[in-house]
């Protein structure tokens, strides 16, 4: 995926780039949408800067689609699957042991417990990989100024 942004800060071999939110994101209204202030519509992303782009330059940024899909799957689908697995596991265990108490509220609690464990694991995973360069977007070119 390629996006355009503006370099706002240079940090050695990395840069902080202001990017417009994606079209699918900008209209939801939670963070300002189209009518909000610029700092709410835009977001800052730390990217690798192998070409040495300077502050104020417009740049073309590349992010690996497969990595982005993998991270999205980990952040959204894995916790959801853990919630469903916890609910189903508790319901099956309660039926197997013929437990006569309220099954559904406890199943939901166990599901949320599983989901919490997954979020904890994801936090630890995120702390390990967020500094790795293979998960960061890269500046691949300068975008000529429009005149």
**Tens digits of per-residue pLDDT, 57-93?**
899 999 888 888 898 899 999 999 999 999 999 999 9
pLDDT of residue 39: 52
Shared domain for 126 and 85, answered yes or no, is yes
Say yes or no: 77 and 58 in one domain.
no
Q: Which of the four pLDDT bands, split at 50, 70 and 90, describes residue 112?
A: very high
Contact yes or no for 20/42 (Cβ under 8 A): yes
Residues 73 and 52 in one domain: no
- Mean model confidence pLDDT for the chain: 84
Same-domain check for residues 99 and 119: yes
Q: Say yes or no: 29 and 71 in one domain.
A: no
How many domains would you assign to the chain?
A: 2
Question: Domain containing 76: what range?
Answer: 66-133
User: Is the pTM for the entire model greater than 0.85?
Assistant: no
Helices and strands in the chain: count of H runs, count of E runs? 5, 5
């Amino acid at each position: 995926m390629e996006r355009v942004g503006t370099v706002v800060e240079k940090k050695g071999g990395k840069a902080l780039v202001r990017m417009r939110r994606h079209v699918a994101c900008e209209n939801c209204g939670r963070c300002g949408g189209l009518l909000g202030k610029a700092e709410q519509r835009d977001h800052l992303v730390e990217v690798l800067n192998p070409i040495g782009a300077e502050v104020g330059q417009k740049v073309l940024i590349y992010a690996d689609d497969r990595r982005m899909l993998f991270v999205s799957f980990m952040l959204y689908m894995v916790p959801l699957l853990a919630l469903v697995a916890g609910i189903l596991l508790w319901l099956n265990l309660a039926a197997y042991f013929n437990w006569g108490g309220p099954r559904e509220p406890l199943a939901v609690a166990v599901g949320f417990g599983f989901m919490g464990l997954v979020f904890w694991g994801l936090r630890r995973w995120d702390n390990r990989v967020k500094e790795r360069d293979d998960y960061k977007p890269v500046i691949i070119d300068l975008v000529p100024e429009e005149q």
